[in-house]
């Protein structure tokens, strides 16, 4: 269905019982976000806040709260979008079967952006930043943030919409040292197109013009987060996905999405930064305050009866999980075609996406040799870690499966398959002193840390233990030790103090386990944590704790570990020290006062308006 506005989409959701109107006044300071969080956790509907305290504008959230709802919104275009992505990767297919691909080619044609339409709804009124709903999501946030922005920039050397970049980069509207209504913060991370544009503008000593679109047809929001193939415009994608051409114009030299609900225009000057953050982010921790580009506000526009869309991120899963699922629905076949030998890749949402990547590749280099060991898999791993946002992966587990029965989307089964085959003395490969996700504070500094590849292939070398082995029961005398799943156990000791104390503790663990474990030991992975009960409670807890709180080069140890010709290995189990360190960012936690305050929206059975 072609939605011409955000409101048209919301009305469609309401007709089908997928949206609830909140007519009572709700406070944008923590209360709206808390209500959203509770509704999302219950698998509830989209929310339309009709009475936002301190603002004349309405707000909407949880629009993409489930994959089913996201697929409903784009029900008329998903199949053709999948075909378009396939054509981008295999254009010869269109020549071989032109009539079969005619629909996709027509979709591509009508997706071309449409400049300067007669109707310009978003220019209906000029407002100030303070008129926007001032939504603060988490107690320790540094101010008010835009969480569903579409940030538009153009290449100063090749201006125009077809060479532009549209990305979803966090925007701080207030707080810190920002001059109210005149300055806002622009946070973007590694491997983002806007960085290329700013670099070019800086070299010429010129301002980078930035336009922030908020709202509009839902296809515009999704296009801002799509990892599109090289050369495919986000605006073209938005038009194709929404079955409506992306409409735009220019105002005072700034690009304006005329179908948006709000547009903020401004400039980023070379070398102008201010502290941005903290912000409760999608890894489940606060990203702390750091210098990021300062955007000088030029003008702010809003359409008549504009609606401010927002989401709430935090420990996954959250609403942005549906974005990832929708992206996989559309582009699932793209990565295997982009990286030779790759059959499947899965960035694990429960681990915060970038910290943990699972992959299935091919192993075809030496079929004539009787010994099966990783070879092509290592080439593929290097390719993965050099490809776009996949390069932000911190832990990469990769294997091959000739029978095509394995999937990366069952994390527990996949990890068990790896652990059954993992040679701890051979199959662990570190990348030290490298870049990592901006939001990951397990490393040695902002954007810096390490990566590790676990590449396992061949016949099983061990049977994974489902119960705590006798050797680990000896640890239990001074540490709470619990099984998480076959092959993986958690153990809890005293909190982390410093590196030297940790090395002394590792030595003590080695004294107990070195003679009692070995290459075939049934628990090859031990998670050292602050709360063994919580870590072992669920696979999701394990994934979150183990992979968001570890820096591979600093926090991986082994029983009877060794170095041979610069290669690290261990004879016995591998230990991940996933305890909280002094440099880690605090985890996000809902305010109990706000939880109690939002109880008024739920009945005794926990239902909102009888729908949840």
Which phi and psi (to 5°) does residue 605 adopt?
-90, 5
Q: Is 95 a residue whose pLDDT tops 50? A: no
Where are the chain's structural domains? 6-73+111-310, 334-455, 470-577
Q: Per-residue confidence at 402, pLDDT binned at 50, 70, 90? A: confident
Residue carrying structure tokens 């009866």: 305
Q: Which strand ranges, in their side-by-side order, compose the sheet holding 114-115?
A: 114-115, 247-251, 254-257
Architecture of domain 470-577: 3-Layer(aba) Sandwich (3.40)
Q: Is 484 a residue whose pLDDT tops 60? A: yes
Residue 93: its pLDDT value, please?
45
Nearest to 541 by CA among 317, 281, 358: 317
What is the DSSP code string of 133-160? Answer: ---B-STT-SS-EESSEEEEE-BTTB-S
Residue 331: its pLDDT value, please?
73
DSSP state of 287: E
Contacts of 276 (CB under 8 A, 6+ apart): 142, 170, 172, 176, 185, 186, 187, 289, 290, 291, 292
> Which of 3.40.50.360, 1.10.10.10, 2.30.110.10, 1.10.10.60 would CATH assign to domain 6-73+111-310?
2.30.110.10
Q: Per-residue confidence at 560, pLDDT binned at 50, 70, 90? A: very high
Residue 242: its pLDDT value, please?
92
Are residues 331 and 85 in contact, defined by beta-carbon separation less than 8 angstroms? yes
Whether 6-73+111-310 and 470-577 share one fold: the answer is no
Residue 390: its pLDDT value, please?
87
Give the span between the Cα atoms of 327 and 85, in whole angstroms: 11
Residue 191: its pLDDT value, please?
53
Residue 85: its pLDDT value, please?
67
CATH topology of domain 334-455: UbiD C-terminal domain-like (3.40.1670)
SS3 of 489, please? Answer: strand
Residue carrying structure tokens 């919301």: 10
Residue 254: its pLDDT value, please?
97
Comparing 473 with 106, which gets the higher pLDDT?
473
Mean pLDDT, range 504-531, rounded to an integer = 95
Comparing 332 with 303, which gets the higher pLDDT?
303
DSSP state of 495: P
Per-residue pLDDT reduced to its tens digit, 191-243? 567 888 898 999 999 999 999 999 999 999 999 988 776 567 789 889 989 99
Residue 107: its pLDDT value, please?
55
Are residues 167 and 116 in contact, defined by beta-carbon separation less than 8 angstroms? no
């Amino acid at each position: 269905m072609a939605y011409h506005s955000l409101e048209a989409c919301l009305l469609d959701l309401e007709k089908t019982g997928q949206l609830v109107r909140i007519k009572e006044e709700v406070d944008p300071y923590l209360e709206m976000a808390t209500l959203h969080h509770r509704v999302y956790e219950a698998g509830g509907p989209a929310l339309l806040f009709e009475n936002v305290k301190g603002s004349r504008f309405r707000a909407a959230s949880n629009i993409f709260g489930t994959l089913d709802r996201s697929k409903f919104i784009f029900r008329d275009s998903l199949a053709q979008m999948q075909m378009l992505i396939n054509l981008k990767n295999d254009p010869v297919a269109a020549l071989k079967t032109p009539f079969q691909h005619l629909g996709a080619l027509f979709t591509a044609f009508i997706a071309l952006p449409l400049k300067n339409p007669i109707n310009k709804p978003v220019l209906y009124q000029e407002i100030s930043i303070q008129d926007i709903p001032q939504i603060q999501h988490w107690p320790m946030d540094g101010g008010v943030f835009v969480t569903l922005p579409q940030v538009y920039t153009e290449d100063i050397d090749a201006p125009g919409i077809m060479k532009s970049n549209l990305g979803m980069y966090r925007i701080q509207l207030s707080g810190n040292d920002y001059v109210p209504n005149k300055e806002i913060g622009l946070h973007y991370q590694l491997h983002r197109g806007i960085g290329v544009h700013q670099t070019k503008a800086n070299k010429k000593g010129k301002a980078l013009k930035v336009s922030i679109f908020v709202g509009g047809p839902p296809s515009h929001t999704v296009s801002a987060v799509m990892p599109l193939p090289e050369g495919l415009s986000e605006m073209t994608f938005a038009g194709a996905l929404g079955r409506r051409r992306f409409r735009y114009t220019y105002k005072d030299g700034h690009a304006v999405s005329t179908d948006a609900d709000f547009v903020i225009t401004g400039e980023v000057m070379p070398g102008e930064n201010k502290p941005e953050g903290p912000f409760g982010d999608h890894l489940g921790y606060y990203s702390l305050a750091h210098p990021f580009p300062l955007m000088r506000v030029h003008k702010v526009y809003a359409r008549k009866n504009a609606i401010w869309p927002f989401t709430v991120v935090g420990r996954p899963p959250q609403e942005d999980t549906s974005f990832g699922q929708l992206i996989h629905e559309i582009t699932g076949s793209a990565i295997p075609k982009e990286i030779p030998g790759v059959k499947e890749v899965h960035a694990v949402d429960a681990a915060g996406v970038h910290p943990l990547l699972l992959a299935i590749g091919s192993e075809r280099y030496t079929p004539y040799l009787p010994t099966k060991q990783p070879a092509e898999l290592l080439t593929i791993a290097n390719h993965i870690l050099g490809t776009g946002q996949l390069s932000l992966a911190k832990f990469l587990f990769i294997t091959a499966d000739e029978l095509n029965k394995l999937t990366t989307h069952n994390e527990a089964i996949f990890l068990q398959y790896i652990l059954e085959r993992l040679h701890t003395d051979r199959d662990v490969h570190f990348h030290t002193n490298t870049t990592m996700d901006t939001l990951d504070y397990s490393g040695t500094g902002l954007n810096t840390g390490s990566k590790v590849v676990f590449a396992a292939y061949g016949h099983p070398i061990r049977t994974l233990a489902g119960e705590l082995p006798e050797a680990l029961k000896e640890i239990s005398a001074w540490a709470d030790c619990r099984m998480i799943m076959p092959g993986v156990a958690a153990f809890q000791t005293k909190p982390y103090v410093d590196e030297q104390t940790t090395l002394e503790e590792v030595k003590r663990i080695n004294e107990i386990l070195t003679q009692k474990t070995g290459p075939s030991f049934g628990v090859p992975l031990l998670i050292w944590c602050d709360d063994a009960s919580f870590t072992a409670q669920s696979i999701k807890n394990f994934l979150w704790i183990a992979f968001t709180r570890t820096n591979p080069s600093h926090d991986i140890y082994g029983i009877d570990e060794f170095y041979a010709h610069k290669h690290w290995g261990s004879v016995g189990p591998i230990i991940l020290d996933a305890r909280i360190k002094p440099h880690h960012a605090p985890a996000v936690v809902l305010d109990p006062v706000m939880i109690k305050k939002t109880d008024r929206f739920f009945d005794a059975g926990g239902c909102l308006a009888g729908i949840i």
